[in-house]
Amino acid sequence: MKINTKSKKVNKAWLNDHVNDPWVQLAQKEGYRARAVYKLKEIDETLRLIGPHDVVVDLGCAPGAWSQYLRRKQKSGQGSGEAKGLIVGVDLLEMAPIDGVHFIQGDFQDEAILQALQATLAGRAVDVVVSDMAPNLSGIASADAARVENLIELALDFAQHHLRPDGSMVAKVFHGAGYDNLVRKFRDTFVHSKPYKPKASRDRSAEVFLIGQKLRHP
């Protein structure tokens, strides 16, 4: 039986980096499901996007670290008798329950899932859309870029139809083919838009987060 020693070395190196990653260690210490939480946390604390009474839609929410952060912020800022915020998470993958988070399992690209999301919102306008969605990658750059672009375009369309006029959106994208087009679409959709690279995002990663604030009038 042949053994791919190169693959084993790569996996071992990744595991070593992961175990010794300070963000992984901090997430474990603070009870978060993934280090990715600190990307959203930094963006939120820098730009003050999310309030404790907000209606937030978390696209690509599994394993749930962003939803955990949203829920903790919601709980910390709400007193008795105040209007409650709402958190709705959507993902194709399963997610272990989080108290106070409404989870919908399914493909955001399916009309039935979008209808379920709209039903959960029950007519409430959305204050913030956060998207950590990423497609299954094929390794073919042009095809993968098209998949990423399609997902973000769907999220932007959802934001245009459901966000409050002064609402915000955060979406993970990747440098490469299609990136400039997504930047333009954020500029066309929002009054204020900018790319942001959080400290918890690995230097070698092509990911960057596009942030849009305040919808442009149609």
Nearest Cα neighbor of 113 from 85, 71, 155 is: 155
Buried/exposed 128-141: b ≥16 CB within 10 Å, e otherwise: bbbbbbebeeeeee
64 annotated ligand-binding residue: yes
Which residue of the set 172, 194, 197, 214 is catalytic?
172
The two counts, helices (H) then strands (E), for the chain are 7, 7
Nearest Cα neighbor of 159 from 170, 148, 172 is: 170
In which region does residue 48 sit, left (phi positive, over 0), alpha (psi from -120 to 50) or beta (all else)?
left
Contacts of 78 (CB under 8 A, 6+ apart): 52, 53, 84, 85
Alpha carbon distance 17, 20 (integer Å): 5
- Tell me if residue 172 is catalytic: yes
Alpha carbon distance 155, 108 (integer Å): 9
**Binding residue ranges:** 64, 66, 91, 107, 132
Show which residues are catalytic.
172
**Binding residue ranges for S-adenosyl-L-methionine:** 64, 66, 91, 107, 132
